[in-house]
Structure 1
């Protein structure tokens, strides 16, 4: 009986818990949905910021690099007639008459300059032709344009009888085009549609190469200057390290424009550096330091140096010093212990600092614009020029897209060779 009772008691305690009721299950699901909604609401501002500050601008840039609606919106009827033209000889008189009428309308709406700027990118020198012709067409009465628009257009300027001009108008009239990317790569299409190197000045590939060279030089200089300082900060007494860290962070508390302007005062012809060198007799005449590639490299190295020091310092501070002491106790020389033990442990911080400095310097704009001059300009300055001055947003978008693709490619190569997982900021 006792055994039976004991067995019965054990079975009673080992029985599974009673299943939840339907109301309890619904309450649990409701609570989980409520928590998910709260989590979504908490991250919604961040997601909105990422979308409007990063995703939307990049998507717009990618779209603008292949979409060119300006001409087709200004002269839609002429573009429609040119779409059936083979490109050989001259378009028919109906096409010329349509162009004359649309130029007359554009002149009345004061939009001829927009068409002139768009066509001038494909056919240099056509801006003045289109503007002048539009003014002449506006002065002609509507009844005089009927049936004689082609003649009026030829009389306005003999260049309207050149097939090359009409081929350019047909080319820029396509709403979707790869012309911007070809231009950004110093390429162009001939009359047969084959891609070849541009016959005029090739500047963009050279600018990309110069930008990468400047960025790599700045990264190496920041590494050579920042690694010893980070090493000293990691091994210095706390009071000394704290004071030096304040000096490292001090540039972040000063305006970027102020720091760049300070370098202008230092590097200019009558600046501090030239005055000091001449006073000591080292040089006999001022050196050309400002508005050069040297000025861009020096100023940007000073500005970006903290981005190399901080990751290195945070990683070095976390390294156990007993590793190096163990290597020394086993007979290793100090330099050998540093190279074989300490330096490999700092590679994650070095990788993070190098990537930060390189990527930031590739897209830098303000400092090269102020101190670089023509020799120190980078691709970002040319992108800004097309956005602000020339109004060629399509080319600016193509240049920016290629720069983004270049950065992503370099990051992919780095990930394949070193591994992005080795990057550590602390």
Structure 2
């Protein structure tokens, strides 16, 4: 048997010396786990598995927050600056009008009117020109009607050219002849660029990963996505020779081809071209000399020669005069200034409108005084939300105090009365206040019966700020009471008894001992009530009239009625920034850590 005192190195059991020797040996290599892997690697692997399991548990909540909260806010921020509709609807005009200087006190030149004609013809065929008119109408009243009227008259602009061309050779009325004339090889880049323009006009961009995922999800529920437009074959190849010889005609015929295939699903070779294609051909031929026409020997050379001869007797079309005949307002600078000012893909115009400013060629400027409404609405919203918050504090604090100090039986009965409004529809509660506050309502009848108010001098308590404050205070009062009660119920009564035993009066005890401990509940209730009230729109809409509505009512109007989603998004973004700024100020002054819901 080994003697531990004389031969300690020969002991094989678990002794301190053996543990130290094992540790010294471990320093020469990594510590291993039971499965033979390095201990650090096994530990990281176990922690990674735990993190994955934890993430899987909260993934549904994260997805819900992303879809219902983060994505709408991101979409709102994007819509508040997005303005691609102008460039997508009138790309040629946007490019040409950028060279126009409004300071010359003259309308744009003929090239701008010509570009506007071809852009509007294409968008009118796609039934998208009125959307642009509606967008620009937000910046200048009357633009919507201008675009509607011009869309009805575009077919007649090139009528002299079309009549002359068709009279020169009967083949010009045949769809197959046009197809043979324009088809060939080498100019498909132009055709593809016009396809891209059509897709942007129709609001269908190139497919993305997100779009593919959406299509996959839709197919699971039996609603698969249609074939993407960029995958639809046009079954037509544009001739490089005709593109070089007749560039405007090639572009107009490309528009016709793309629309015929992608929108109508027809065969290009069987459809007669648009009036705009004849107009483009007339412009191209009139720009040629006799020598250039005679030098061309491609397909349809004789027909082009005949058309050139016939067009020589036709007076040049003035697109400017045609626009003015359709609507005299096209002959002044103002609509073109608006089009030029808002031609960028992204614009601060919505935000400027939201703060009663506007964008002009001279820069940013305030709107006329009689058009400044949003600044007033923001001020009113903040003021009334603060008044409602303080009203809820004044009314809710005594109730919360009673709830926390009454015996349990009485406190439970009072709590049921506090929660009772939650069991009644918001619309019913608001409508009830409308009945009570009107001049022939219950409150006025009681005041007249008591002799406090004469019958012909009844109080006006509805359709104004007073009615909004009263109704919203009643609706939001429980949201103030519950946080304050949850905090007050945790305040030890021994503090109050100790203060009184030391000689403090009831007021001193309340103000110096009880009230400071209830401040976190007031803070929590105030934040909750203020944020709810600043975004309310149902109650102000019913009882507020014209002087008691909030900025949220205007946002709802632009979303549901005027469909000015850009301005609604800008107003919502500003409201969000104001709330965050006030939250930051509250945190700096009071400290968000002092806000409690009990405990």
> Which bin holds the TM-score, normalised by the shorter protein?
over 0.9
1:401: how far off?
0.7
Q: Over residues 66-110 of structure 1, what are the superposed CA-to-partner deviations in whole Å (9 max), with x where a residue is unaligned?
A: 111222222222112112223333222011012123333343333
Looking at structure 1, the residues matched to 131 and 427 of structure 2 have their Cα atoms a distance apart, in angstroms, of 35
Q: Report the secondary structure of 2:347's partner residue.
A: coil
Give, in whole Å, the separation in 2 of the partners of 1:177 and 1:212: 27
Q: Which residue of 2 aligns with 1:36?
A: 51
Q: CA deviation at 1:141?
A: 4.8
- Summarize deviations over 1:27-79 as a string: whole Å, max 9, x none: 65554333222211110011011111111111111111111122222222211
- C-alpha distance in 1, partners of 2:4/2:154? 118
Counterpart for residue 423 of structure 2? 253
State the match for 2:432 in structure 1: 262
**Contact residue 323 and residue 341 of structure 1 kept, 8 A:** yes
User: d(CA) in 1 for partners of 2:155 and 2:133?
Assistant: 16
More helix by share: 1
Q: Which SS does the other structure have where 1:188 is aligned?
A: strand
Which residues in structure 2 correspond to 1:110-189 (within 5 Å)?
Answer: 110-141=127-158, 143=161, 146=279, 147=283, 148=317, 149-189=319-359
Name the residue aligned to 2:381.
211
Cα shift at 1:10: 4.4
Whether 1:80 and 2:249 are equivalent positions in the alignment is no
1:303 corresponds in structure 2 to 475
Instruction: Check conservation: 1:107, 1:138, Cα contact below 8 A.
Output: no
The aligned runs of 1:225-244 (5 Å cut-off) are 225-244=395-414
Conservation of the 8 A alpha-carbon contact between 1:296 and 1:368: yes
1-structure distance, mates of 2:44, 2:86: 57
Shift of 1:169: 1.0
Matched, 1:337 2:509: yes
- Whole-Å separation in 2 of the counterparts to 1:101 and 1:269: 60
Question: C-alpha distance in 2, partners of 1:249/1:23?
Answer: 62
SS of the equivalent of 2:33 reads coil
Matched, 1:52 2:67: yes
Structure 2 distance, partners of 1:10, 1:27, is 27
Aligned-partner SS, 1:122: coil
Q: How far apart are 1:23 and its partner, in Å?
A: 3.7
Instruction: Tell me the equivalent position of 1:91.
Output: 108
Alignment partner of 1:293 out of 461, 465, 476: 465
Which has the bigger relative contact order, CA under 8 A and spacing at least 6?
1
| Equivalenced residues, count | 425
Pick from 547, 562, 571 the counterpart of residue 375 of structure 1.
547
Question: Which TM-score applies when normalising by structure 2?
Answer: 0.67
User: Given the alignment of the two structures, is residue 66 of structure 1 paired with residue 86 of structure 2, yes or no?
Assistant: no
Which runs of 5 or more residues in structure 2 are unaligned? 24-30, 163-275, 284-316
Where does residue 20 of structure 1 map in the other structure? 33
Q: Distance in 2 between matches of 1:226 and 1:157?
A: 62
Taking the aligned partners of 2:516 and 2:387, their CA distance within structure 1 comes to 23
Q: Which moved more, 1:12-21 or 1:151-160?
A: 12-21
Q: Which moved more, 1:101-110 or 1:360-369?
A: 101-110
Could you say which residue in structure 1 is the equivalent of 2:117? 100
Distance 1:71 1:10 in 2: 83
- The alpha carbon displacement at 1:343 in A equals 0.5
> How far apart are residue 229 of structure 1 and its match?
0.6
1:345-356 residue pairs with structure 2 within 5 A? Answer: 345-356=517-528
Q: CA deviation at 1:191?
A: 3.1
In structure 2, the residue corresponding to 1:358 is in which secondary structure? helix
Where does the alignment leave 5 or more consecutive residues of structure 1 unmatched?
Answer: none
Larger radius of gyration: 2
SS at match of 1:346: helix
Measured after TM superposition, the shift of residue 240 of structure 1 is 0.5
For normalisation by structure 1, the TM-score amounts to 0.93
For 1:389, the equivalent position in structure 2 comes to 561
SS of aligned partner of 1:308: helix
1:165 CA displacement? 1.6
Q: Does the CA contact (< 8 Å) of 1:293 and 1:375 recur in 2?
A: yes
Q: Is contact 1:94-1:150 (8 Å) kept?
A: no
